[in-house]
């Protein structure tokens, strides 16, 4: 399989753990070719405030597997893909905190979960804007209609809105595709865009970028 981009979104927190994940595969031709999602068991009580944000309560996830059972899936994608998220520091932190043993093994190879492509940083830098929320960018870039169509196609019917992991991952994927096609006109390489997203420390982990 050719290298690809994996748009990722998590719902949950460092306290409750990852309660839901969404993954969307985007080819280097900027085509979405898969989308998947799953609910995961909580690690502590889910507060009413958190449920109000993402709509997941303890009853929904009490019989689900812990996210740790999904680590192999993310490692498998990472072998061929670069991870992409909207404000990727959050997704990276959750993965890092959730599976430190895996992270230690990756770091011993001179790698990590990153480097990440970050649609928040890319749009902020290229549009020179401070307010680059996911929903706001979708509206501003006129992507809501196609997002709604893809949401109906791929998302569970009760998880077809913002603050649902797969819906947000699709939104991130669409922002990436739109960015490449319309804002950069494919004039930037993946490596150049990674440098836009990475700190100096993260740039030292550019080995994964050699896939591209």
Domains in the chain, please, with CATH?
4-205 (3.30.420.10)
Nearest to residue 82, comparing CAs of 7, 192, 186? 7
Residue 143 DSSP symbol: -
More confident residue, 7 or 188: 7
Answer yes or no: is pLDDT of 35 > 90: yes
C-beta atoms surrounding 84 within 10 Å:
26
- The β-bridge partners of 14 are none
Answer yes or no: is pLDDT of 207 > 50: no
Nearest to residue 28, comparing CAs of 198, 139, 161, 186? 186
Answer yes or no: is pLDDT of 100 > 70: no
Answer yes or no: is pLDDT of 204 > 50: no
Read off the pLDDT of each residue in 166-178 and give the average, rounded to a whole number.
97
Helix (H) or strand (E) run with residue 18 in it: strand 17-27
Q: Is 177 exposed, middle or buried (0-12, 13-18, 19+ CB in 10 A)?
A: buried
Q: What is the pLDDT of residue 202?
A: 53
Q: What is the pLDDT of residue 50?
A: 94
Counting every residue written for the chain, the total comes to: 212
pTM over 0.85: yes
Q: Give the Å distances, CA to CA, from 103 to 71, 179, 185, 199.
A: 11, 30, 35, 18
């Amino acid at each position: 399989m050719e290298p690809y981009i994996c748009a990722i979104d998590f719902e949950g927190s460092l306290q409750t753990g990852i309660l839901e994940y969404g993954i969307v595969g985007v080819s280097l031709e900027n085509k979405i070719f898969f989308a998947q999602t799953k609910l995961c068991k909580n690690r502590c009580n889910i507060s009413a405030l958190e449920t109000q944000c993402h709509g997941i309560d303890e009853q929904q996830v009490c019989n689900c597997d812990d996210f740790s059972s999904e680590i192999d899936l993310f490692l498998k994608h990472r072998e061929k893909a670069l991870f992409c998220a909207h404000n990727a520091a959050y997704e990276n932190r959750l993965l890092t905190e959730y599976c430190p043993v895996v992270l230690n093994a990756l770091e011993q190879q001179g790698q990590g979960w990153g480097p990440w492509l970050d649609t928040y940083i890319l749009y902020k830098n290229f549009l020179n804007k401070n307010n680059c929320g996911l929903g706001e960018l979708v509206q501003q870039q006129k992507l809501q209609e196609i997002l709604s169509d893809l949401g109906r196609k791929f998302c569970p019917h009760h998880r077809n809105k913002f603050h649902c992991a797969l819906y947000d991952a699709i939104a991130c994927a669409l922002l990436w595709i739109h960015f490449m096609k319309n804002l950069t006109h494919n004039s930037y390489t993946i490596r150049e865009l990674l440098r836009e997203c990475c700190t100096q420390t993260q740039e030292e982990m550019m080995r994964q970028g050699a896939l591209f």
